[in-house]
A and B are shown apart, each in its own frame.
Chain A
Amino acid sequence: MIAALAGLLADPHARTVLATTATLGASCGLAGTLLVLRRRALLGDAAGHATLPGIVGAGALSLSLGGTGREPWVLVTGAALGALAGIAVVHAIRRATRLPADAAMAIALGSLFGLGTAMLSALQQVEGGHGAGLESLVTGDAATLVRADLHAAAAVAAACILLATALRDDLRALAFDEDFSRSVGRPAGWLDALVSALAIANIVAGMRAVGLVLSVALLVIPAAAARPWCRTMGGMMSLAAVIGAAGAVAGTVASAAIDDAPTGPFVVLACGALLAASLAIAPRARVTAAGAAA
């Protein structure tokens, strides 16, 4: 096992892959903490599913304009736009109706993913538009990662760290007590938009490694695993980053060891295993009067 790992590390491509997934895991853990504490965990799920019509649309546009339909920047832009559209749809539904957040997310998720499916079925029939590449975007394939992906992941991680640190007081206040934050005039809408943007950036950066459908897991599970150990939001972000990186690397190594295994599911399963371990050995939260009354 150690020998296998050493062998992996000797290979430059493998080093790139591992570095990229580790960075992604850390970045997702950090951004995911904000999502979880802001009680918007499943927004990541809606955004992840909503990327599909964006990607297919961008690919189709590129094809029609003479490209290959699979240029990385095209897919990334399409994914980001799709995720933005998904979140915008969720907000629009919540503002226009009194439906609760979970219903709005389920509506956005189902409809946009369906639209993406329909578009994909069309694209697959066009010459040059076969969906093999796109399918790997759904489940992830770390073997396809290149240095550009490492740079992108590092950039996203740096942005997350910078923004989360600079705005941590504002974000903490908003996540803990939205009424107070608004009552003292803080721009809650913009702060929420920032949290969503960080989540989207992570989803898009992790698209090729972890896939779209599972990216929410990498956002939410490390944060959940860190929760029982931390008293402060800052601590939770740091620990979630570590757990995310560890789970991402473990999952990547595991999927590489098994032939033909897609990376995304194994990263999620590794993070799930870390969550289970954390639950097993973490100190039990003291039952508080407030907690018991809840």
Chain B
Amino acid sequence: MSRLHAAIEALRAWTPEVDGWIIAIGALAAAACAVPGTLLVARRQSMAADGIAHAVLPGIAGAFLLSGTRDLAWMAGGAAVAAVAMSAGSAFLERRLRVERDAALGIAYTVLFALGLALVVRAADSVDIDPSCVLFGAIEFAPLDRVTAAGHEIPRAALVIAAVAAANVAVAAFAWRPILASSFDRGFARAAGARPAACDAVVGAMATATCVACFESLGSVIVVGMLVVPACAARLACARLVPMAALAAAFGCVATVLGHVAACVAAPIAGLDSAGVRELSTAGCVAASLGACFVAVAGARALMSRKRPVDGARATCLPCAP
């Protein structure tokens, strides 16, 4: 009983200034990731999310080294350069090497990520960044970094992410028809003038901007989860893009709340606070909660649609050509 008690105490210790903002920032990240994430999943480019999240690292680290500051404009510029390098490199490799698209992507972004890691270790000497922070994120500290806006003190991360979220929605709304056409049928879209390559670039830019905005709080690898997993869970629940994006944002928010709760109560509930463990990493717990949400949705869907073909002779289902 005392474990539960300790857990409740941990939750009671929540303050609006810190925990409230943590959840708000996470929810905003979920909203920002919903649009590019849904589009990437619909366009069968999930690993591109992984790629962008990895590839922005050298851009950001390079920006740190060049500018000596953590100025957002530099970071965004560096990330943009890196993301473009990744897309161009991956397309080039796919054509030239005749490997499948995912392999080309993997090569491009791991090379860039390696470059980024090498730079980060160098930059850690000269600029005040922590390599593990870049990888794993530190959303717990985000509420402490405040700026003043409209007379209120708001965490910088919240402002930036909210701005990106709004921009994503606006851009998607503006370019909706060509994006939809090129997501569904590239060949037709190209012939009809919907410019699928340009749409790819737009979606990629949205994802890049979102990665840059979120990486300080969530870390470059956790952002991958936030981009792809809610969208995949939403894909299981509905088949139209706009509801999918809304549902993805909702799942992301749920995972944020679950994640932060888990981060606070996991140690007391498991009795680990006696070993000195206080809170877990919220970003890690959020990513794990995203996975749990996906499993829940997949499980619910499996339960709801139990149709098995009845066959006389034992039919084996072999994979048909995709």
**A interface residues with partner B (beta carbon < 8 Å):** 36, 39, 41-42, 44-45, 49, 93, 96-97, 99-103, 105-107, 109-122, 125-127, 131, 135, 138-139, 178-179, 182-183, 213-214, 216-217, 220-221, 224, 227-228, 260-262, 264-269, 272, 275, 279, 285, 291
Contacts and interface: CB of A to CB of B under 8 A. Distances in A.
Contacts of A120: 136, 281, 284
Nearest to A123: B277
B100 A272 contact: no
B232 interface: yes
A3 B297 CA distance: 61
Given A118-B284, A179-B318, A36 B103 contact: yes
Interface in B82-105: 93, 96-100, 102-105
B122 to A, nearest CB: 8
A100 B101 CA distance: 13
Contact of A214 (B110, B280, B318): B110
B168 to A, nearest CB: 19
Interface string B20-58: 000000000000000000000100111101100000000
Contact of A220 (B45, B103, B283): B103
A122 B98 contact: no
B298 A97 contact: yes
A102 B103 contact: no
Contacts of A41: 99-100, 102-103, 106
B235 A275 contact: no
Given A97-B236, A220-B103, A227 B98 contact: yes
A214 to B, nearest CB: 6
Nearest to B108: A272
For the residues of B in contact with A, the DSSP-based class is helix
Contacts of B225: 106-107, 109-111, 113-114
Given A113-B221, A127-B276, A279-B97, A261 B121 contact: yes
Counting chain B residues whose Cβ lies within 8 A of the other chain, the interface size class is 35 or more
A107 B228 contact: yes
Nearest to B229: A107
B294 interface: yes
Nearest to A140: B117
Interface of B: 41, 44-47, 49-50, 93, 96-100, 102-107, 110-111, 113-115, 117-118, 121, 131-132, 135-136, 219, 221-222, 224-226, 228-229, 232, 235-236, 262-263, 266-267, 272, 275-281, 283-288, 290-292, 294, 298, 301-302, 318-319, 321
23 contacts: A39-B102, A41-B100, A42-B105, A49-B221, A97-B301, A105-B47, A109-B224, A109-B225, A110-B290, A110-B291, A111-B225, A114-B286, A114-B290, A115-B288, A118-B266, A119-B284, A125-B275, A138-B135, A182-B318, A213-B221, A217-B114, A220-B110, A265-B117
A221 B103 CA distance: 9
A206 to B, nearest CB: 14
A12 to B, nearest CB: 27
B20 to A, nearest CB: 21
A220 B113 CA distance: 15
